[in-house]
Amino acid sequence: MRFTPYRPIALAALLSLFLATPASADDAITLEPEQVGTNTYFFGGASEMASQENKGFMSNAGFVVTSDGVVVFDTLGTPALGQAMLDAIAEITDQPVKRVIISHYHADHFYGLQAFKEAGAEVWAHTKGQIYLNSDLAQERLEQRRQDLSPWVDDNTELVWADRWLTFEDDKTKTFDMGDTTFELYDVGGAHSPEDMMMYVPDDKVLFAGDLYFTGRIPFVEDADSKTWLEAMDSMLDMDPDVVVPGHGKSSTNTVEDMELTRDYLIFLRQEMGAAVEDMLDFETAYKQTDWSEFEDYPAFKDANRINAYGQYLRMERESLEGL
């Protein structure tokens, strides 16, 4: 018993031998933007899950320098990354960041917002983002990120609301000017999340597509609303961009080819799974008898195809029951 008082000290000393020095939120993160147009840049994160190793830098975000301020598209997955974006932007231009557009309210795309709010930027997002922010899911995700991405996401990390919630008319587009640059916003809500938006910069022919676009690979579709997604693909093809910056992964200059792959794949999934539902085939049988040869050599086919097919089987079932 007489050694008891020393035990905590001994234990702490022992632990310090085994535990690496904890990371500090002050550990500087330096980001290097990639230029994709005369005035347009993006930050490309690792295409993987958020982890301590990548410090939450696993998505993309971009910015456009105008003659009267900077427009930012998405803010990456932590306030520290948001600050790192601001620092990197300040290396390129003296213009302040005046506006931030959020593609959708998923943690890896908007947790950096806090830094931009502190810097005085105005935040715009699709009105349906409010549904997510009011949900239990949003709080659960924040708690999870506080554990997984500490200290970069901690008790000081907040879910930041937009200053302006955008609603769209039938044409599903909105344009705005900053300085001498025009921006087009597209409502593609429902394709990947209820509040998806894309941003097009006609001067540089660069499209920021959020999580609707995949470069040279089979997309993750699962039970996404493939009908809305296909409509969004059509508006993307109409824009005919030179460069597409996706929400994850490399930017694309083979834009038509990449878009056609996603579009053809979505059409194929809907056709095959739709026919199976109509013929009342069970999923296993339908999956086995489908000829996947057109797509099976593309990257991510093995990881994604079965889940995608099953998700779309269920969706086609729902669509047929609802008579959509």
Binding site for Zn ion (CB under 5 A): 106, 211
Nearer to Zn ion, 66 or 103 (CB): 103
Radius of gyration of the chain from its Cα atoms, rounded to whole angstroms: 22
CA 31, 37, 40, 45 dihedral sign is negative
Nearer to Zn ion, 250 or 289 (CB): 250
HSE value, Cβ hemisphere, 13 Å, CA-based, for 216:
6
Tell me how far apart the alpha carbons of residues 236 and 309 are, in angstroms, rounded to a whole number. 24
Give all strands (DSSP E) within 118-191, no chain letters.
Answer: 122-126, 164-166, 173-178, 181-187
- DSSP state for residue 207 in the 8-state scheme: E
Nearer to Zn ion, 211 or 272 (CB): 211
Residue of closest CB approach to Zn ion? 106
Q: Shortest distance, CB of residue 63 to Zn ion, whole angstroms?
A: 19
Nearer to Zn ion, 141 or 205 (CB): 141
Nearer to Zn ion, 85 or 197 (CB): 197
Q: Shortest distance, CB of residue 210 to Zn ion, whole angstroms?
A: 7
Helix (H, G, I), strand (E, B) or coil at 76: coil
Q: Burial, 283: exposed, middle or buried (Cβ in 10 Å; 0-12, 13-18, 19+)?
A: middle
Q: Shortest distance, CB of residue 111 to Zn ion, whole angstroms?
A: 12
Q: Shortest distance, CB of residue 67 to Zn ion, whole angstroms?
A: 32
Give all strands (DSSP E) within the chain, no chain letters.
Answer: 34-35, 40-44, 60-66, 69-73, 97-101, 122-126, 164-166, 173-178, 181-187, 197-201, 206-210, 243-246
The C-alpha angle with vertex 176 and arms to 171 and 178, in degrees rounded to 5, equals 165
Q: Shortest distance, CB of residue 104 to Zn ion, whole angstroms?
A: 6
Nearer to Zn ion, 99 or 106 (CB): 106
Q: What is the largest CA-CA distance in the chain?
A: 80
Q: Shortest distance, CB of residue 247 to Zn ion, whole angstroms?
A: 6
